[in-house]
Amino acid sequence: MPGITASPPFPENVPTHPLLIIDYQLLRAGDEAEIDRLWKAATELGFWYLKNHGVDEEVEAMFDLGRSTFALPLDEKMKFEQGDQGFSFGYKAAGVQFMDDNGTRDVTEFLNISKDDALAWPSPYHRTYPSTVNECMESVVKPFVKKSLTINNFVIDILNDRLGLPKGALAALHNSDEASGCTARCIRAPPHMERDNKTFLNPHTDFGSLSFLHNRLGGLQVLPPGADKWYYVKPIPGHAICNIGDALNVFSGGILRSNIHRVMPPPGEQANYERFSLVFFTRPNDTAVFRALTEKSPMIAEAVAKAPAGKYEHNVTAKEWLARRIKSQRVSNYKGPDSWKERKGTEDLTIPLLARV
């Protein structure tokens, strides 16, 4: 099977949804027009491309780490398995999560490396990892984690100000020195030559605040607001794909959009290749409570007043929110169709019928 570097280009004959391209260096410079574009992306679709982020070398090294880790024997990887109780860090084998209300098993494997473990290295904070990770925790994982945190936290600070929140309000809920579910995830999906519509990851919203995704092959699809059709997001070299997660949606009273998305096999000839991807999930401090910050922003208070009562008052901690969503995906916890409902995030589960297939 050809390697990832030899994969064919993204086909031009599949439906794609254009994302706004945001220049990180312009954001750093305080360019108001670029900040306006970020706000538009964050409040309308919830997805955007980010260029000039300066993490390309670290991303390539993390892809190498993922490939070397997934090449280990399964019994070695299983020593670091996450388990069924909602613990998010470690290895997840293919087939241990269910993908729909029929209990269909997933086909991907991934490795979650905790931000806390990377920053505390060489002392374990949550857990230990395979030798392939330990060998480059200091030289590869830690630099990727630190740069990803800097970028995501800077973007969150911009959104904080646009929401009319006091300076540092969201930053206090995303303190890198506190324990959190922040994660660097390496993902591998197998070649998919059957040409059916088997999903790699079913419709969902992300669990945390802001996701920073890097991939080489297609497969990510978004469901634009009001649409009844899925659209691919085309990978662009040197451009990360960012999206808002549940926590920012709740904290903002729904102003920031945590949009539905899924992952399908890559389109066209790309389906013949293994699909590797890398994402950094910024999530709130474990103790942060999932509720709208109405008392800190008139804008948020107004948005919540227009929403159904209690929609943005989950009143569970970020740690509890994450554990529930992870635990409820495991095949061992599948109890029938109602189990699928237990894993939901902030999404509206009345997805148009055409968009479910």
1 falls within a domain: no
Give dist(CA 255, CA 304) in Å, integer: 9
For 188, list phi and psi in degrees, rounded to 5: -130, 130
* pLDDT given for residue 72 in this prediction: 98
* Ranges under pLDDT 50 in the chain: 1-4, 349-357
Q: Which amino acid is at 294?
A: T
Please state the length of the chain. Answer: 357
On whether residue 165 sits in a domain, the answer given is yes
Q: Are the C-beta atoms of 165 and 297 separated by less than 8 Å? A: yes
Q: Could you tell me the CATH number of the domain that includes residue 346? A: 2.60.120.330
Instruction: Region of 311 please: left (phi>0), alpha (psi -120 to 50) or beta.
Output: alpha
Domain count, the chain: 1
Does residue 7 lie in a domain region?
no
Given this model, what pLDDT does residue 342 score? 72
Residue 256, token pair as written in the block: 């920031």
Type of residue numbered 80? F
Q: Which two tokens stand for residue 310?
A: 């209690």
Are the CB atoms for 86 and 160 separated by under 8 Å?
Answer: no
Report d(CA 120, CA 152) in Å as an integer. 20
**Predicted pLDDT of residue 24:** 98
Report the 10 Å Cβ neighbour count for 64. 15
The answer to whether 341 and 327 have CB atoms below 8 angstroms apart is no
Q: How far apart are CA 116 and CA 129, in angstroms?
A: 13
Residue 8 lies in a domain: no
Nearest of 154, 153, 125 to residue 141 by alpha carbon: 125
Please indicate, yes or no, if residue 5 is contained in any of the structural domains.
Answer: no
Phi-psi region of 7 (alpha: psi -120 to 50; beta: other; left: phi over 0): beta
Q: Could you give the CA distance from residue 81 to residue 77 in angstroms, rounded to a whole number?
A: 7
Q: Kindly report the number of other CB atoms within 10 A of residue 57's CB atom.
A: 12
Map residue 312 onto helix, strand or coil.
coil
Q: Which residues contact 277 (CB under 8 A, 6 or more apart)?
A: 186, 187, 213, 214, 215, 216, 217, 219
Strands 220-222 and 261-263, bridge-based pairing: antiparallel
Range of the domain at 118: 21-355
How far apart are the C-alpha atoms of 179 and 171, rounded to whole Å?
14
C-alpha to C-alpha distance for 206 and 35, rounded to whole angstroms: 23
In this structure, is residue 11 part of a structural domain?
A: no
Domain assignment of residue 12, yes or no:
no
Q: Is residue 37 part of a domain?
A: yes
pTM of the model: 0.94
CA pair distance 148, 170, nearest whole angstrom: 17
Provide the pairing of β-strand 183-189 with 109-114: antiparallel
pLDDT of residue 222: 96
Sort strands 21-23 and 47-51 into parallel, antiparallel or unpaired: parallel
